[in-house]
Structure 1
């Protein structure tokens, strides 16, 4: 393929990523990019910005002033103002173009009539009409500023933010249309991407085929293949909730890789929290007057501790904090109900039991995890709207588990709408090929027996 075709396909993938993000994330918005502190990129940007404003200040300080840099600035301001106008602002766009006409401004400077501060006030008046309410105070403060350079520096920074505001407003307005068209669009762009690859489904194929069981290859006819394929796809999706960090995602899942890993860690956190609650109530249950109320309060306070933890390792690092909070909650409850406090030996034993949950093979943690996964698998494979029972031990965490399930099922539904045809083709071809291979082997085994029978009859 030509370089132009490859670059076109790469751009298509970038557009597909953006459309996908908008479609699956209802809170999607563009944000201003700030390079990390002490990075080369930030140093270069800061040096270039300082050089620009220093040069502008030197030109304006000359006698008579020089306005070469000022013309560049006004032209950029004009272009940015035009960028943040709405489609129906025809008269306003015409007014901005005429007022900030660089050729006209150059003529004014030649006759000594240029009032640079007058243009700054005009620009601010336009910004006040166009900005979102969140920018009103910033614009008002700039209007009070007397130093022209400070005003224009603030104008450029605020215009950058206003362009982001306008872009995000536009995204929210067209989001329903993007959601409605995203499946068709992503299919088209992914097909274009596949044309640039020798095998653009290599990882996807390996991912799916790893979930084919021996009994899946014994389906007697094509009519039953459909049900088998559906089961295999569901098993493959469930594997994503335990996907290793170091393993590459299938090509058809990679767009949601970060979301899947986040769901994986959130599910692990919910299972750890469920295990902690179960261990605690088992250990101190007889001492608790109102176990349901105590459990809800304990959950809320433990969730506050766990809230900053975004990964599984961060959750495990907070286990000591959880154990200390649990002991405090138990002691507070006993004090409020005028009951004897826990002896130190009981506190130590409770803390030790909680910390044992760090082990993934912990009996209760394994049980809670197994129940959670089975619950999600049941929902994933369900073809009805009938309610599904929350697993025992996780009823207190129903809200958290429901959020994980809802997010995961939405991702799966979207992914399957876009790539389902590839999944079905890969699995159907594999099952049919393996079935035909088995049939040929069976015929080969039967042929010697038939020949032997024929020879015996001949004798």
Structure 2
């Protein structure tokens, strides 16, 4: 199930700075110092996203339809191109707007060249010399279309293969304003292509340096707070068990702390929207809430499959193939839902689809049709899964959480057996685990290095703090 989610409320930086802020600052700080810390956090969020998400890429921002921002942008763009068309249609032609456009095109072309393109950069600067072009315009010898073809030829040399067709179409276009409008739009996309290419090239370096960088920036953030780890400390303390610290020595504490952190991260998969996230995981807040909602949806899907098979299983031939087909079709219905409330709103459709799949299966295998009473009962049983206290739903969630918890606390690469009833959901659970598992590894350093007092309290004021 391909899903997208935007973090509700505010940006990660805003969420990161405000939790745990005490009533008064630890010292008087200048606005410059506070802004520097905030900027550091912002940069850390970006670096963290690149390091954690192997598919991270920049995308062109498009304001929502009918928004004021989109209306203003469209009006301004239209005014620019209309003015360019009017000036080029005058006798004699006016090139005031055209010169502004050519300078912007030149700057954008230089932006998408690589450092080793020394000769090409010089060629672009010389050919699109605005002062020279202005002199040509003043003497009436400027061929504006010639420059458009030159620009397109350079773009063809620099663009990614995905842009080739667009540029070929522009080369065949004869309306000069249309050509340059397409040039500007395509240059914007090429700049994104170049930025994403650069990100992929430097990603291994970012991953290698991210822990050190985040520790540094997190320490700068903590200097702006009285207690910038209050929520994190409470979150971890809640997962310390009495038998964890009874008789524990310094050597065994490493494994115990790892278990505590694993249990704490497991709790995030059932975290409430109304509850502030711990400071050390706020950067992953959007990802955590997406995983939480996806896990809930996967467990509902598993519950529907179990309820269906327990109800009509004896009538089904080739049960494994039927379950896979049913899961695939149910996923199509559930895919647009990004939250529990949206999933619940689709349960009526899910129940109808289950009945249809059973009827189709019986028909294809030349078996007697499902009686009306059985249809009503099956649909009712599926709809009962909407209740969070539903027995099968609770069981599936419990097994899924135990499975993920085992993976989180595992120190070996040994395969973990899928829990009973979840084998059909192996791919979905694997995707959830694959996204969740890197998060504790990336954040444990911050937790360990910034919680000496919290852990000293947890360990009942032992004389030697574990996190030295």
TM-score by length of 1: 0.89
Higher relative contact order (CA 8 A, sep 6+): 2
What is the distance in 1 between the residues matched to 2:136 and 2:364?
Answer: 81
What is the distance in 1 between the residues matched to 2:327 and 2:97?
Answer: 61
Judged with a 3 Å threshold, the aligned counterparts in structure 2 of structure 1 residues 426 and 225 are, in CA distance, closer, same or farther, namely: farther
Structure 2 matches for 1:359-398, cutoff 5 A?
A: 359-398=387-426
Deviation at 1:244, TM superposition (A): 0.8
Alignment partner of 1:31 is 2:59:
yes
Deviation at 1:434, TM superposition (A): 5.6
Provide the secondary structure at the position in 1 that maps to 2:407: helix
Alignment partner of 1:325 is 2:349:
no
What is the distance in 2 between the residues matched to 1:333 and 1:147?
Answer: 58
Deviation at 1:60, TM superposition (A): 2.9
What is the distance in 2 between the residues matched to 1:407 and 1:148?
Answer: 48
Deviation at 1:159, TM superposition (A): 0.7
Q: For residue 92 of structure 2, what is the aligned residue in structure 1?
A: 64
Deviation at 1:118, TM superposition (A): 1.5
Aligned length: 435
Q: 1:87 aligns with which of 107, 115, 131?
A: 115
Q: For residue 410 of structure 1, what is the aligned residue in structure 2?
A: 438
Provide the secondary structure at the position in 2 that maps to 1:249: coil
More off after superposition, 217-226 vs 182-191: 217-226
Structure 2 matches for 1:308-319, cutoff 5 A?
A: 308-319=336-347
8 Å contact from structure 1 (residues 271, 368) kept in 2: yes
Judged with a 3 Å threshold, the aligned counterparts in structure 2 of structure 1 residues 336 and 45 are, in CA distance, closer, same or farther, namely: closer
Deviation at 1:37, TM superposition (A): 1.7
What is the distance in 1 between the residues matched to 2:201 and 2:446?
Answer: 23
What is the distance in 1 between the residues matched to 2:327 and 2:459?
Answer: 51
Q: For residue 10 of structure 2, what is the aligned residue in structure 1?
A: none
Structure 2 matches for 1:193-208, cutoff 5 A?
A: 193-208=221-236
| Structure 2: runs of 5+ lacking an equivalent | 1-28, 464-468
| Structure 1: runs of 5+ lacking an equivalent | 437-459
Alignment partner of 1:242 is 2:241:
no
What is the distance in 2 between the residues matched to 1:155 and 1:107?
Answer: 24
Q: For residue 18 of structure 2, what is the aligned residue in structure 1?
A: none
Judged with a 3 Å threshold, the aligned counterparts in structure 2 of structure 1 residues 69 and 333 are, in CA distance, closer, same or farther, namely: closer
Q: For residue 161 of structure 1, what is the aligned residue in structure 2?
A: 189
8 Å contact from structure 1 (residues 268, 312) kept in 2: yes
Deviation at 1:356, TM superposition (A): 0.6
Alignment partner of 1:430 is 2:436:
no
More off after superposition, 297-306 vs 115-124: 297-306
What is the distance in 2 between the residues matched to 1:406 and 1:135?
Answer: 33
What is the distance in 2 between the residues matched to 1:229 and 1:298?
Answer: 42
Deviation at 1:218, TM superposition (A): 4.4
Provide the secondary structure at the position in 2 that maps to 1:136: helix
Backbone CA RMSD of aligned residues? 2.0
What is the distance in 1 between the residues matched to 2:32 and 2:54?
Answer: 34
Deviation at 1:211, TM superposition (A): 2.5
Q: 1:350 aligns with which of 362, 378, 387?
A: 378
Q: For residue 10 of structure 1, what is the aligned residue in structure 2?
A: 38
Larger Rg: 1
Deviation at 1:237, TM superposition (A): 0.9
Q: For residue 261 of structure 2, what is the aligned residue in structure 1?
A: 233
Alignment partner of 1:189 is 2:217:
yes
What is the distance in 2 between the residues matched to 1:241 and 1:38?
Answer: 36
Provide the secondary structure at the position in 1 that maps to 2:279: coil
What is the distance in 2 between the residues matched to 1:294 and 1:145?
Answer: 53
